[in-house]
Structure 1
């Protein structure tokens, strides 16, 4: 039934159904799909994840699929997309070989959301107090998935340069596409300095950097910040909060861990400062973008600031030292002039880096150029061809073995 459908059909193969109110990755996914839909692409989403009550109501076609299931082959061959997007490298590992067999002429795109293996490497370095090691097994898998695809979308200029310099990926396999903002907030309609009070943190707790940031802040920063700002509270919001997070609440000092918030911008607009005390991570940070969009100055660390704005463009000195982080937060909370400077710096970052019209046309043009010259593009990518022929066969054979094993178990 699909073979006669419009040729500009896009299939997103998603590890999870997009939850833009829960994760920055969910918002990122919808940014891309909206951009493609406005360019005339028909959108279909397929995921092996179970639906959740918090997933976006996209209006696009949605399909439940299974891993290690040859039924996917017949379905996707009939769907016949011209563009396939994997939203994590694990999805390319699982479904990439099937897509190449069934839809060999579809342009394949990997959207990393953030450089997953960089985030993991930073986490390991922090946990063990060791130098950063970029060259580990997860990096090998992620780089291999990038090489097998026709294009990889990166949300961070820093990570684009890292891939080029340390992993030797060429420019023509990479495309920078940040969070997309269509208009700046009208600051006149938002609460001002005197109308706001208290501190806020926001971020889903399935994301390890957010969990670590909350624990670090509660244990290392909040005790001294509470002394600097008596009577000021800190409210932490996050989807998928659990007992380990809620036990950090200390009503006596005003540190309170809440669950999810349905409207991040409306929530942040009530607070004087937005905190993002990240000690590791990668990519762009949705929590900082939310702060800027709600006119709420954000206090963050060098890791938090990376890929969002230059280190000298925040209106204060970036630091992951607990004493300095507390002092900066106290200064911005109490000093209206400093607060306005940090707020305006965020608005400048939005205007200079994240505007939709600065990125939309270039992305669509890049996709269409690859589609028009697909065989030449793939011939040029010799390492991708080698990996598709050799390493990825192991993924195929493992998947077929699991499928056969499951069928025998059901007999």
Structure 2
């Protein structure tokens, strides 16, 4: 069982049966585990979760991908063949004792396995049942592969990053999976609160596309209420398709610098740049003339190193930051102060990874247990629950 520094953890005593694989569902169960829930991960005998062989570059830990270790720490593994009647009956007995079930099969698969919401709530009326799909349970996209990059492609998200002349730019992370998992956790926690009041469980559903549309709620609302105008990425160093100059990323003499929202005349005066009268009189011109203004700023920033600009900007309360890589981030005292890394033990080898991105009563939840081997806990779980 995971050992937590927070005692008692907020979700201590709750049992989560996780039937999901890849990233979205396991991310949801990871967040619940971080808050103290016990997560039993149901995997296929032998190969287990397909994420075990889904490599980020070619890095592996103990025969499994680093992605699997990052997303499945602190969980227990129960190996079951869901096409086998005895194993499926064992799972049903486990679900009867659980508080939460999570699944992310393609629409129709969970029904064929006899583990859909209607069946499960008859087994356990108090269960909170979490379900993630690619594009919803029905409709013209329901049978399409629920994969992160493909969901990004359909969502409109790719037209928000990059410069005006660039091709569509996908996010460099599996944002659909992770935001869908985070959205599901919100719903599951709400379901658990309602169950505490009424004693009744519930069905929580989301999808990759729903999560990505919600992620864009600000800019999509602008689009919907601005005559359907398309996003307008800046010509160079664009950081937001709907924000005016100086917002963006600029190359300095020895690195890169980010500038956020700031009155253009104030910034220009500080940098010694020429300012047109309309920029002083009409803030709307900061968007209309965005490329012209940003070009002036870019040329001037390129003349000096990052440290000099930081020394000028920060005392003047200009919203700025150096663009750091991971080595710079990890070595900085500001990062160290947050305590966002942890070491996991008990697996094929020790693993260093991130910790939960929140604190409870001032303490960051920490799990000391590495991700499990396939079926590592099968015998103990079967004995404990009489499977």
What's the TM-score, normalizing by structure 2?
0.34
Which structure is higher in helix share? 1
When Rg is computed on C-alpha atoms for both structures, the one with the higher figure is: 2
Higher normalized contact order (CA 8 Å, seq sep 6+, divided by chain length): 2
Normalising to structure 1: TM-score of the pair? 0.32
